[in-house]
Structures are given as C-alpha cells and as structure tokens.
Amino acid sequence: MPASLNALSKKIENECGLQEQEFRLQYMDKDFNEFMNLTSVSDLNDKDTVRVVFFTSSSSSFSHMPAESTPLAHSLSSDSCDADTENSSADTDILSSSESTSARSSLWPTPFILPRFPYDVQLKLEQGNSAFKTDGKFCIPDPKLKSGILDVLAEEIINYKAYPSDSEFSDVAEALVAKHPCLKEQGSVSGYSGWKMSLKYKLANYRSRLRRLGCPEVTVNALKHKPEGTSSPAYGIKKPKKAEVNYCPGFPAGETAESQEKMRVDLLAELKKRNNYETVRKMMDMTFAYRRHEIVHDSPLVAAFKSRWPALFQVREINAEFRRITTVPLQSKFLSQLDRFSDDLLKVFTKRGGVVTKRIQDVMVLMSQNGTIETKRECILKGLCIYLNEDPHNLVKEYLDVDSESAEADIKETVMGIYVVKHEFAEATEDPEDVGIVLEGVEVLSGLGNVAMATAMLLGLIYSLNLTYPKELRYTFEVLQKVILELDSNKLSGKAQALKTKLFT
C-alpha cells in the first residue's frame, strides 16, 4: 500500500494509463454503504474497491470508472464507465465540480483514525512499543520525534476542521496513546493531557501558516480583515458553530471572484430554461465557495441574497447545499430520524408531568383526529418545543385563508418561522392550503406541504445562510441538530443532554 494519497494516485495513474486525465478517488465506506471521497490511505483496507472520478471539464462533466484491488497495492484494473452516473453523482459526490477538491468530504471520525507517520517516526514508535510490551518502559520522545508526530496529526486534523473542539483534541490524543502505548504520560490522569495541549499549540501554529498562505477559512478571522478601528482580534469571529464541514472553502482551482461572478450571472440565465436542473446543479456546485464567501464575509440580508441566488431557494438546492456544507443528507435523515425517535419522544412527554404535560396533550389531540404520518411529525415537533419550555407558536404560525391581510402583516414582522395557511372551514383531516418559510419578513419558500418538511428546509436555510438560531427556540433547534441530525452531538446543553439521556435509557 502506498504511504500517501498522492503516491496511491500516482500508482493508479501509472497502472491504468491515466497520465493525461485529472481525477480524484473515492472508497466504499462500509458504515454508510456508499462511496465517499478518499482523503487518506488509512481509510483503505485490503481488497477494498476504489472509484476513480474523472474531471473532464470546468462545467463538472464527469464519469466513473471503478478500479478494484485484490489486493490494491499489487493489482489495479479499470472497468468500463459506470452507467448509473446520475444516481451515483447525487448520492456520493459531495461536490462534483472538477476543481472543488479542496472541499472536505466527511465529518469528524469517531473514533479518530490515526494517519500513517513518516517511516523514521513509525520505526521509532514501533521500537518504543516493543520496549513497552517487554519491559514496561515508557518512551520519552525527543523534540524531533515529537515534532514529527504533531506535524502529521495537525495535517490530518485540518482535513476535517480548522477549529476542533476540546473534546475532539482529546479524541486525537487518546487515539495516539491507545495505538502507541509507549507514549502514554506517567502521572497524568488521562495519560495524554500533555499531548492534547501540544496538539492545540501545534494546530494554532499551523493555522498561522495557513493564514499567511491565504486560506479563507482562517483568514476570515485575521485582524486585518476586521472593520477599520477594530483592535480586538476576537471581534466578529467567524468559525463553524453548527458542525459545518465546509464553512468557508477556497475557490476552485483557476477560479477568481470575477470568474465566479460571471458564472453566477450565467446561472440566472440558465434558471429560465426548462428541464435544466442538471446544469443548474453543476453551476451551483462550482459557485459554492463564492456563495459561502459572500455569506460569511458580508452577511447580506435575505432579500438581497435571494435576488442574487434565487436557485438556492428551492427544495432540491437546499438539500444539496446542506450536504455541501455538512456532507450529511438533510431531508431523508431528518424525517427518518424524527420517525425513529417519535415513539420514544411520546413516552418522554407523558412523564413530564404538570402544566407542560397538559399543554402537550392539547397539541396531541390532532393526532387522534388525523392519523397521518405528517400530522404525527407535526405534533411531535410542537410537543418538543413545549417539553423544552419553548412556545411552538414561535416556530409555526397558523393563519386562515380569509385573514390574508392580517397574515401578510404578521409575516412581515416575522424574523424566522414557518407559516401554515388553512381553509376557514377545513376538517382536521384536510391538508393545509399552503406551508412555507419566512426569514427576515420575506417569504422565501412555499408549497412545502407539511410542517415537518418545512422544519427540515428551515434548518437547511439556516445552514445555507449562516444564520443563528432564534433565542426563543434555541433548545428546540439544538435538539434537532444534535440529537435528530446527529451533528456535533458530543456537546449539548443541560436541557438537550437530559432529553437525550431519557431517549436512550
């Protein structure tokens, strides 16, 4: 097995005669049962399947050729092009554009998988582990060995995020001493607290190097990019706060702000054509970094941003944008996880007691009148708000079709929420006339059909537009993000942690 991803790519290039073609590699992830972008050779096992994704033009045209290894290090064979490119591209390509390889393709791994160290470092560690097993002798690494270890770990960490949390630093340090017990620190309770602190300093220095090189994810926090007269480096800190994997990626290779702006204008023209989704999707892929820079740096008003990027305010593109940012599918995971926890949530609700239970019961009456899955999901979401001592009316506002004027006036005053329009004499079993989303007094999406779908799309828009959760619903959205979607699930508030504990006991 080649020691690095570059060496593996070169091996495949030589074996399969791909010297004149640009490509990237994907591997079959056994946990998700789908192809994921390959970022490290440590992800591969013997006889794994590797997919070669070709970059054929700047407009994101690509084809797939699987290359199977049996074992990979000795035999590589290229087969004919994958005929199912349409389905596979939607499911496995986080960013399908040919130059978007700088975008990350996976969440923080649990447990953390150590990369392979340089040969000399690996040799010293093997010798240290051998001495530890025979004599119980701990290794005290010299400065060169320690620096070699920390350099490789910092490079691996940056593949997942530039600003890891304290617990994620602990994951890396714990994985290091677990695989190389000779590095365990004597006198330390955890055995790796010193390594954890060294990793923090090393990554801070690594970020400084990236900042000097112009990496947008860290330059956005540089003092020279703050408003004039600002002396505090902490002013307006812009970091991923909701487990974003691609928070502020760099432009595709060869692209500039001017070329990306031209593509944005071309995208507006493409939107006017019928049955043109594939072209629009590819152009949205290509302009993803440009869009994120605009969102993160300028924080535009929703109305202004919608006029510049109308394609984003569609269900398919909200799903695609959420996946570009987090690598996680939005709609399918949100609804399936909500259904998975529904019965457990109902049991937790009944044990709450007091006035809260009475309010939840009043909301759940609709379930007995209309037993559809959409109604059950809506009642669960409203009950979740009440259980967390928050008002579901702040999330879902209901109006009658006869009160259109008052509804429009109320919508203009709504900062963030979901509106539901019902017929005046509608039965409980009837579907609402319209369900949509309001942001900053602007109706950004309509015709969503039900509240659960609207809630998923609202979450997607919050990520896409880099919005903060409303204070009056912060616990509800925290549970939806960290418990339902399982994003950054290891760091919860007291309320969210208490609910999660009850769900899993």
148's tokens: 């070699």
Q: Are residues 187 and 200 in the same domain?
A: yes
Segment 280-288 mean pLDDT? 94
Which of 305, 326, 347 corresponds to the end of one domain?
A: 326
Q: What is the CA radius of gyration of the chain?
A: 25
pLDDT at 323 > cutoff 90: yes
Segment 402-418 mean pLDDT? 89
Q: Are residues 269 and 197 in the same domain?
A: no
Q: Is 299 left (phi over 0), alpha (psi -120 to 50) or beta?
A: left
Task: Map residue 123 onto helix, strand or coil.
Answer: helix
CA-wise closest residue to 418 among 385, 388, 392, 387: 392
CA-wise closest residue to 51 among 78, 70, 32: 78
Q: What pLDDT does residue 235 have?
A: 75
Query: What HEC string does 222-258 produce?
Result: CHHHCCCCCCCCCCCCCCCCCCCCCCCCCCCCCCCHH
pLDDT at 211 > cutoff 80: yes
Contact residues for 187 (Cβ-Cβ < 8 A; gap 6+): none
pLDDT at 60 > cutoff 70: no
Phi, psi (deg, nearest 5) at residue 431:
-75, 150
Give Cα separations from 303 to 71, 290, 456 (angstroms): 55, 18, 21
Which of 53, 77, 92 corresponds to the end of one domain?
A: 92
Torsion of CA 413, 479, 331, 466, to 10 degrees: 50
In a domain, 224, yes or no: no
Between 99 and 176, the more confident residue is 176
Q: Computed from CA positions of residues 141, 147, 148, 154, in that sequence, does the dihedral angle turn out positive or negative?
A: positive
Mean pLDDT of all residues in the chain?
Answer: 85
DSSP 36: E
Q: What pLDDT does residue 31 have?
A: 65
Residue 318 burial (CB count, 10 A): 24
In a domain, 245, yes or no: no
Token pair 């349409």 in the structure block, residue: 86
Q: What pLDDT does residue 160 have?
A: 92
Question: Structural domain of residue 294, as residue ranges?
Answer: 257-326
Segment 227-256 mean pLDDT? 84
Q: What pLDDT does residue 65 have?
A: 39
Q: Are residues 79 and 171 in the same domain?
A: no
Segment 255-274 mean pLDDT? 94
pLDDT at 5 > cutoff 90: no
In a domain, 252, yes or no: no
pLDDT at 484 > cutoff 80: yes
Residue 157 burial (CB count, 10 A): 23
Q: Are residues 389 and 419 in the same domain?
A: yes
Q: Are residues 126 and 63 in the same domain?
A: no
In a domain, 74, yes or no: yes
Q: Are residues 144 and 24 in the same domain?
A: no
Query: Residue 62 — pLDDT band, cuts 50, 70, 90?
Result: very low
Q: Are residues 304 and 386 in the same domain?
A: no
Percent of residues, the chain, with pLDDT higher than 70? 88
338's tokens: 């909500």
Q: What pLDDT does residue 309 have?
A: 97
In a domain, 482, yes or no: yes
Q: Are residues 371 and 472 in the same domain?
A: yes
In a domain, 377, yes or no: yes
Segment 166-180 mean pLDDT? 94
Q: In residues, how long is the chain?
A: 505
Strand partners, 68: 49, 77
Residue 358 burial (CB count, 10 A): 11
Q: Are residues 421 and 379 in the same domain?
A: yes
Q: Are residues 14 and 35 in the same domain?
A: yes
Percent of residues, the chain, with pLDDT higher than 90? 60
In a domain, 61, yes or no: yes
In a domain, 114, yes or no: no
The model's pTM is: 0.77
Q: Are residues 317 and 340 in the same domain?
A: no
Calpha distance 494→344 (Å, rounded)? 19
**CB contact at 8 A, 328 and 366:** no
Q: Are residues 317 and 349 in the same domain?
A: no
307's tokens: 């006029």
Q: How many domains does the chain have?
A: 4
Please report the DSSP string for 178-226 in residue order: HH-GGGPPTT-SSS-HHHHHHHHHHHHHHHHHHHHTT-HHHHTTSGGGS
Segment 27-45 mean pLDDT? 78
Segment 139-160 mean pLDDT? 94
Calpha distance 465→294 (Å, rounded)? 10
